[in-house]
Amino acid sequence: MATTCADFLEADDFLQVVRMTPLVSIDLIVCDYAGRVLVGHRRNRPALGTWSVPGGRICKNERLDAAFTRVVDAELGISGMERSAARFGGLFEHLYSDNFAGADEITTHYVVIAYFMTLESTASVGRFDQHSRYIWLTPEDLLAHDGVHENTKAYFR
């Protein structure tokens, strides 16, 4: 299992961080050469049970370049990829009515840095810590799919 920023805090401490502050994260909008987009079926809260793009939080004192490389490795199983290999896609806000712990009345707020990237090989992309399975969808199919989370659809609107 990949190391995450939350691994450095006890669950109760991290829940207080989620309760009090926005989290900063990177989302990876991964495309193949046919223009299809990789989405995974979420195993964890928030957004449990929906299809979303891979991504992960930026840790305290972690530089963007290091965070990008770590998130790509943790989410896609591709080591050593540099941020310069991706295209900046903008800043987004993701607001969720729940949180990783399922605690009552604590929402989750992410400020997300989106990066678009095209992979040469999609043979064995994806890790299964956060997602139970992956599918490739065209942007049109992604937008029409009822199970794709609205935050993921926002990248294509």
- Determine if residue 9 is labeled as part of a ligand binding site: yes
Closest-CA residue to 51 (of 156, 144, 135): 135
- Determine if residue 75 is labeled as part of a ligand binding site: yes
- Determine if residue 55 is labeled as part of a ligand binding site: yes
What does the angle CA 138 – CA 143 – CA 147 come to, to the nearest 5 degrees? 105
- Determine if residue 23 is labeled as part of a ligand binding site: no
Render 48-104 in DSSP notation, one character per residue.
TTSEE--EEEPPTT--HHHHHHHHHHHHH---S--GGGSEEEEEEEEEESS-TT--T
- Determine if residue 42 is labeled as part of a ligand binding site: yes
Place of tokens 């989750």: 108
Tokens representing 2? 């990949």
Q: Point out the annotated binding site for substrate.
A: 8-9, 14, 42
Q: Point out the annotated binding site for Mg(2+).
A: 55, 75, 130
Q: Point out the annotated binding site.
A: 8-9, 14, 42, 55, 75, 130
